[in-house]
Amino acid sequence: MATWSWVIEATSAVWNMTLKDVSNMNINSVMSIDFSKYIDLIVSGIISYFPKIIWAIIIVWVWFKLVDIIQSWIEKLMSKQRIDPMLKWFLSSLLNWILKILVIVSAAWVLWIQTSSFVAMIAAAGLAIWLSLKWTLQNFAGGVIILLFKPFKIWNWVEIASYSGEVKDIHIFNTRLLTGDKKRIIIPNSDIISSPMINYSSEPKRRVDLIVWISYDDDIDKAKKVLDNIAKSDERIIYDEWITLWVWELWADSVNIDFRFIVKSGDYWSVYRDTLEAVKKAFDKEWLHIPYPQRDIHIYNHNLKSK
């Protein structure tokens, strides 16, 4: 069976013999060398190997066309699943390159080329790239995970790595938040997937927790009734679902009432602020007191004691 080694061996023999003859003979002697046996060996090797070359070319061409069809089909499937366009492009392109590399390796195997060294070279190159771009690739992998599993979306309010803000952009290497005071925070995606995260917008409803202080001289039941009326009068509060009114703590200078209720996530901050204002106005109207912090000060006159 003819292989590439025939061609290489014959070519090497011709080259070595020519160098040897040139060093030991004059030009006329070199011209008299019979190259026909070497040329016949090369030609016979190429002729016997030609069908494998044609077959390898056909394999590469057919499979490259099939890979393009597979890539197109996968892109359509990801479009139906509403996968992020950036992630869709990356995954389809990555799959395209992997499949084409496998096709080339298969074609090399058909040609009886040693594929083990070829695969080892690819593995070594991949390791070198990983070591030199480790941090970048970690961020890249984090971006893929975020875009694929979607722990948060654009416009969600989240808390990540001690930063809180609205998600403005999700990129393949980092995510950008806009804080309440209009500061832009850029967080590497590797930090996001390795840190605890709170998504305040993922659920349709949220609970508002308020602590209301009243004086020890005030009527607790009256205060609870006032707070209950505030919850009933605000249509944004989902009163029928869940509401809590109970004494939470007895502090040195106040009785603390725990006031909790459910609202839609989008109404959270507006209801929170409006309810605080409504509590103050209602308490003023009903003569309920939010006590000031109190301290007892004891003054000792050491001079008087000494006398």
Q: What's the pLDDT tens digit per position in 283-307?
A: 999 999 998 877 767 777 766 555 5
Q: Which residue has the higher pLDDT, 270 or 149?
A: 270
* Domain 4-131 fold: Helix Hairpins (1.10.287)
In terms of DSSP bridges, do strands 157-160 and 163-170 run parallel, antiparallel, or are they unpaired?
A: antiparallel
Answer yes or no: is pLDDT of 155 > 70.
yes
| Rounded distance between C-alpha atoms, residue 175 and residue 99, angstroms | 31
Residue 293 gets which letter from DSSP?
Answer: P
Average pLDDT over residues 31-41: 59
Q: What is the dihedral of CA 57, 60, 66, 72, to 10 degrees?
A: -120
Q: Pick from 172, 168, 164: which is nearest to 142 by CA?
A: 172
* Domain 205-285 fold: Alpha-Beta Plaits (3.30.70)
| Rounded distance between C-alpha atoms, residue 174 and residue 263, angstroms | 32
Could you report how far apart the first and last alpha carbons of the chain are, in Å?
125
* Domain 146-199 fold: SH3 type barrels. (2.30.30)
Residue 155 backbone dihedrals phi, psi, to 5 degrees: 80, -5
| Rounded distance between C-alpha atoms, residue 168 and residue 143, angstroms | 15
Q: Is 207 helix (H, G, I), strand (E, B) or coil?
A: strand
In the sheet with 205-214, reading across from the earlier edge strand, the strands are 205-214, 255-264, 243-250
Residue 12: predicted pLDDT: 56
Average pLDDT over residues 101-114: 68
Average pLDDT over residues 220-232: 96
Which tokens in the block code for residue 77? 């499937």
| Rounded distance between C-alpha atoms, residue 47 and residue 57, angstroms | 16
Confidence of residue 3 (pLDDT cuts 50, 70, 90): very low
Is residue 167 within 8 Å of residue 198, measured between CB atoms? no
Domain limits, the chain:
4-131, 146-199, 205-285
pTM of the complete model: 0.56
Residue 6: predicted pLDDT: 47
Average pLDDT over residues 24-34: 52
In the sheet with 163-170, reading across from the earlier edge strand, the strands are 184-188, 174-178, 163-170, 157-160, 197-199
| Rounded distance between C-alpha atoms, residue 149 and residue 80, angstroms | 16
